[in-house]
Structure 1
Amino acid sequence: MSTNYNLLGKGLRNLSILLILFIASPISLTMGFKALKKFDNTPQEYISYLILIVAAIIIIFTMYFAFKTFNVLLKAIFNN
């Protein structure tokens, strides 16, 4: 059982990107809800819904990227 160092480097790079996504996704969701509260019954209300949709897309992508990253790390460590 040997470690594939090139694949491990890719996995660690993806892990650092994943940490940034773990921080950015709840912040964007919070910004969307705060914008929804602030722009209630105003013409700019569509901005808050746009922010919420983008935040939901980021959260879904973060979950997908997490599974993909852990799969790469498992392949690198266990050489499957």
Structure 2
Amino acid sequence: MNKPTTFETGIKKLLVFLGLLIISPLILSIAFKALRAFKDAPKVFIAYGLLAVGILLILFTVYYGFKTFKTILDHLFSK
């Protein structure tokens, strides 16, 4: 099998990044709605856990976006 080129890797990363751009705000908004809806102990802990996962996922999405565009730009401007 041939090793994938930098451009192919960049396109695959871009598709994953687009999925993260859709999923991470959805999880965060669901967590805020769950915090507003649930007031009893076990469910509110799940809402806070979901909020933490959403925040971490958004931070990872920003990091992954920079890495993705760096990969694509490295391919475009390579000698």
Same fold (TM over 0.5): yes
**1:38 CA drift (Å):** 1.0
Give the distance between the partners of 1:58 and 1:26, measured in 2 at CA: 9
Larger relative contact order (Cα-Cα within 8 Å, sequence gap ≥ 6): 1
**1:66 CA drift (Å):** 0.2
Q: Provide Cα deviations, 1:38-63, integer angstroms capped at 9, x if missing partner.
A: 112x0221110000000000000000
Match of 1:39 in 2: 38
Unaligned 5+ segments in structure 2 are: none
TM-score for both structures, normalised by structure 2: 0.91
Between the aligned residues of both structures, percent identity stands at 36
Match of 2:71 in 1: 72
Match of 1:14 in 2: 13
Q: Provide Cα deviations, 1:8-66, integer angstroms capped at 9, x if missing partner.
A: 000000000000000001000001001101112x0221110000000000000000000
1:27 aligns with 2:26: yes
